[in-house]
Structure formats: C-alpha cells, structure tokens
Structure 1
Amino acid sequence: MLTEEQKAFYAENGYLKVDSVLTADQLSRAQSIVTDWIEGSRSVTESDDLYDLDQGHSAETPCLTRVKLPHRNDPFFWDLLTASRVTEVLNDLLGPSTIINTSKLNCKAPGGGAAVEWHQDWAFYPATNDDLLAFGVLLEDMDEENGPLMVIPGSHRGPVLSHHHEGHFCGAVSPDDPDFDLSKAVTLTGRAGDMTVHHVRALHGSAPNRSTRARKILFYECASADAWPLLGASSYIHGLGQQGFWADLQDRIITGEPCFTPRLEQVPVRMPLPPAKDNTSIFRTQMSGGMKSAFG
C-alpha cells in the first residue's frame, strides 16, 4: 500500500497523509452509521458508555465531543480496521502482528466544537517501545476552518514534554514550554475518505470548529504486538487482572499473533501520575487540568 518514500517520510516526520483510503461504499456506510449515532444522542442528557457530550448538547442540537469505541459498537468499524486499505497501512508501518488499544469517533459540532489541546499520546500510555500510532480516518471534508488535526513534524524524535499542571497530570502541554514550538506546526487537511497517521510521540492538537460544517474523524490507536503497556499508565487494562488482561488482549488482536516477548527499547518516558482529576476522557482531563490553552 505505502511506497518506500511514504514510509521514509513517516519515519522522519512522525506523521503521514494517505489519500482515498476508504472506498466510496465504505465511506457511505461509515457516514450512515455515524449519522444514526448522532441522531440517537438526542435523547441522552449525560455522557454515558457510548457518548461524550459537548457543552450545549440538546435534543434539538446534538453536540458531541466523542462516540466511544466504534469498533466495539458496530462490527463495520472492526472490519474496516482488519480487512481494508487501513489494514495494509497498519502492517506497512507496524509489522505483521498488531493490536488495537482503543478507538473513538471525535466529533466537533459546527460553531465551536471543542478543541483538543496539544499533547503526545505517549504521555497517556507509554509502553516498552514506541511502535504505536493513531489513524485518523476523515469522514467529512476537512479544511483549516473546521478544526483539523495539527502536528509538529519531527517531534516524535524529541523529548516527552510535561503534561502536568499544579501537581497533576492534565493531558496537555504548556504553550510556554521551551520545547513546544507552534510555529513548526503542520495542518492536515483532506477529503472525506482520506486518512492521517501520527506517531505516538508526535505533538499534535486541533483547534475548535469555527465553521458551519461538522468535523468527524474516526481514530484508531494501534500498537505493534511487542509494545507492552507500562504499569501506571492511564488505561483500563490495569484493573483487569491477569486473566482479564489475557482475554482482553485476544479481543484486541488486529493482525498476526499475540507476543509474549515484549521488546524493550531505550525510549523517554514520563508517567501520567499523580493521575488527572478527571480521566474519563481526554476532553475532561484537559478541562479539569486547568492548563493554559495554546489556542487562545
């Protein structure tokens, strides 16, 4: 699927844009399911196991920050990850044996959908090596007005910045951090059906949606099977116990086989401890953490 030039670009810059990953039928099906989910949120008044509600959400005007775990809530999204061009890109970048850590549909409603402050995914869930990435599958056309993903090229090869504020993990970096240079940021725009890729250590964020159009991105966060999570990271798996972890791991295999010989690499790590005041989602972690916004 990927050319050698694309692989080299990803290795050097920590991100990649892949055009037309979804077929027309796949895009139409994904959009239809998402429309049904958003319609279903009209009767919801508090965030629950499926929905994270944004400020201003109502039956008349649904406003979501996220639909949780789409790959578990409709088999289409699991099939998309395991048997499509998405899978080909995954294996090109992470090898034959891969697992999913989580998935989410991030929604920014028109006219002010919530920003995602600048952060590194690695700060939330470090592992024994950093062969982890996130796919962002665009379900709507995306330009600079409706809150696209932004990334700082090469930041995946730099330090892990502090994501702490006032003594607690807050899920965001300070815009005053000397290692954070917003002037280097690249904006990843594209057409519905395109896909972005960013490395787990790449600095990234997205501004509020100030347009009159929705912004919906399906995110898959994936790892090489030999990248094992570190104890203390902000992940549900630490509460499962050994038997529960084993059962859960088998459910998360995308391609290949589970790995029982974790690969240990000399990679920088900062643990997300003391934990965030509210770690139920990145939006709540960032809101409760009180870090100064890089978006003004």
Structure 2
Amino acid sequence: MISEQDVETYRRDGVIVVPEVLDQKTLAEVRGVITELVAGSAKTLEHTDVYDLEPGHTAESPRVRRIKAPHKVHAIFNDIVRSPAIIDILTKLIGPGLRLHGSKLNMKSARYGSPVEWHQDWAFYPHTNDDVLAIGVLLDDCDITNGPMLVTPGTHTGEVWNHHGDDGCFAGLIDPDTIKSEIDRALPCMGRAGSMSFHHVRALHGSALNTSDRPRNLLLYEVAASDAWPLMGVKDFDEFNSRLLSGDPVVEPRMTNVPVRLPLPPARRQGSIYETQSASKKSYFTRAA
C-alpha cells in the first residue's frame, strides 16, 4: 500500500496520508453502524463508557462527539485495524511486532463539530520508546472546511511541549502562544473517504471546528511497537497481549532516549480529550456557540 518514498516521508515529516485504503463497501457498513450508535445515544443525557456527548445533546436531537474505544463496541472497527492492508503499512512504518494501544471515533457534525486543541499524543501515553503512531481513517470526504486534522511536519523529532495548566495539573493541550511558528507551518490531512493518515505519536496536531454543512467523522487507532511499553503501567497483562496485531508477546521493553513528560498530576476533568482540554483558560480554535 505504501512505497519506500512514503516511508522516508514519514520518517522526515512524521505524517503521511495514504489515499483510499478502505473500500466503498466497508465505508457503507461503517456508516450504517455509526448511524445506529448515534441513534442509541438518545437513551442517555450523560457521558458513558461508549459516548462522549456534544454540548447541546438531547434525546430529541442526539449529538455525539466521540465513540469511545469503538474496537470494543462493534466488531467492524476491530476488523479494520487488523486488515492485511493496514498491517502491511504499519509493518513498514513501525516493524513486525504491533500492538493496538486504543481507538476512538471523533465525530464532527456539520456546523458544530468540536475542535481539538493543539497537542502531542505522546503527552497522554508516553512509552519506553516512540515507535508509536496514530491512524486517522477518513470516513467522509475531508477538505479544509470540515475540520481536518492539522499536523506540523518535523515536530516528531523535537521537544515535548508542556501540556499542563497553570494549576500544575495535566491539561491535555499546549499554550498556543508558545507554538505560533509551529502552528503557522501545520498542514491539513485531507482526502477522499477511505483515505488514512498516519502520524507519529510526538507530532504536533489539532483540528478546528467543522464550519461546513457536511460531517467529518475520523476513526482513530493508536498503535505501538510490541516492545514499546506504556510508562503509566499495564493493569492487565492478558488484556494487554490480547491487543497484539502481529508478533508474539514481549516481556523485555525496548528503552530509547526520548523526552518524556508524564500526564501527572492528572487532569481535574477526567474523561475524553474534550473534557480534559475544556478546563483550560486558553484556547486556539473557535468553539461552537
């Protein structure tokens, strides 16, 4: 699915976009599942283990901004990340041993889909080495108007910015005043539905409000080399190994010299990145009224 030049671009920039990896049949099936999940959110007015809700969500007008851990919610999301095409790409970018760290489905509905402030994934889940990346599966055609993910090339080899607030607690975002030049260099990850972005865990990124009249649903998978172990610990070794995508279980973590900031003390508002970032007094992106 990708060439040696694509691999070199990923090494240099920390991000690539691979056109139309998912076929139309799979896209149609995924959209059907999402429609059912959104309809099911009408049964709750609070965040749950499955749903992270937009402000203004009601039973009459369901608004979902995230499906949490979709690979646990419906088999189709687990099947996608384990498909041969994706495993082939991941093997070329990370190596033969692969583990799913987590997944989420960020849903930006037309005219109000929530932004995500500038951050590095590495700040949320540092590992013993940084052979870790996120896959962004475009479930809708994505252009500059419907809130594409913006990534700043080259930032995956630089510093880990401070993601803590004035109170000293983890805030899940970077003060935008400290990264003005990096923001100016950011590039959008756009393409036709079925395309996928692959961005390094230390790459700086964020995304704006969806100002279009079209949705922008982005299915995200976080994948690590099997010998990259989370520094915050492993609670259940059997569950940890159940997330292997390829290769055998590893009990000798590979340690590399990479900069680390732990997400401690924990955020005052626990939950999704939206909840964590909402506690900050500073923001870059415009939010829906």
TM-score under structure 2 length normalisation? 0.95
CA deviation string 1:116-160 (max 9, x = no partner): 000000001111100000000011111111111000000001100
RMSD in angstroms over aligned alpha carbons? 1.3
Secondary structure of the residue aligned to 1:46 is coil
CA deviation string 1:185-218 (max 9, x = no partner): 1011111100011100000000011111111010
Contact 1:138 1:190 in 2 (8 A): yes
Distance 1:41 1:255 in 2: 34
Q: Does 1:77 align with 2:77?
A: yes
Q: What is the letter of the counterpart of residue 256 of structure 1?
A: G
Which residue in 1 is equivalent to 2:282?
Answer: 292
Distance 2:125 2:257 in 1: 16
Which deviates more, 263-272 or 175-184? Answer: 175-184
Which residue in 2 is equivalent to 1:11?
Answer: 11
Secondary structure of the residue aligned to 1:56 is coil
Identify if the C-alpha distance between structure 1 residues 54 and 183 changes in structure 2 by more than 3 Å, giving closer, same or farther.
same
Secondary structure of the residue aligned to 1:216 is strand
Which residue in 2 is equivalent to 1:276?
Answer: 267
Which residue in 2 is equivalent to 1:128?
Answer: 128
Which residue in 1 is equivalent to 2:171?
Answer: 170
Identify if the C-alpha distance between structure 1 residues 262 and 179 changes in structure 2 by more than 3 Å, giving closer, same or farther.
farther
Which residue in 2 is equivalent to 1:181?
Answer: 182
Q: What is the letter of the counterpart of residue 81 of structure 1?
A: V
Identity between Structure 1 and Structure 2 (%): 44
Which residue in 2 is equivalent to 1:234?
Answer: none
Q: What is the letter of the counterpart of residue 92 of structure 2?
A: D
Secondary structure of the residue aligned to 1:130 is coil
Where does the alignment leave 5 or more consecutive residues of structure 1 unmatched? 232-236
Which residue in 2 is equivalent to 1:97?
Answer: 97
* 1:20-169 → structure 2 map (5 Å cutoff): 20-166=20-166, 167-169=168-170
The alpha carbon displacement at 1:279 in A equals 2.4
Which residue in 1 is equivalent to 2:192?
Answer: 191
Which deviates more, 92-101 or 216-225? Answer: 92-101
CA deviation string 1:46-92 (max 9, x = no partner): 11111000101122322111001111111111111112422221111
Where does the alignment leave 5 or more consecutive residues of structure 2 unmatched? none
Which residue in 1 is equivalent to 2:226?
Answer: 225
Q: What is the letter of the counterpart of residue 285 of structure 2?
A: F
2:257 to 245, 255, 266: 266
Which deviates more, 74-83 or 201-210? Answer: 74-83
Secondary structure of the residue aligned to 1:52 is strand
Q: What is the letter of the counterpart of residue 276 of structure 1?
A: A
Distance 1:82 1:96 in 2: 13
The alpha carbon displacement at 1:43 in A equals 2.2
The alpha carbon displacement at 1:180 in A equals 5.5
The alpha carbon displacement at 1:258 in A equals 1.6
Identify if the C-alpha distance between structure 1 residues 106 and 138 changes in structure 2 by more than 3 Å, giving closer, same or farther.
same
Secondary structure of the residue aligned to 2:227 is coil
Which deviates more, 177-186 or 222-231? Answer: 177-186
Which residue in 1 is equivalent to 2:241?
Answer: 250
Distance 1:110 1:43 in 2: 22
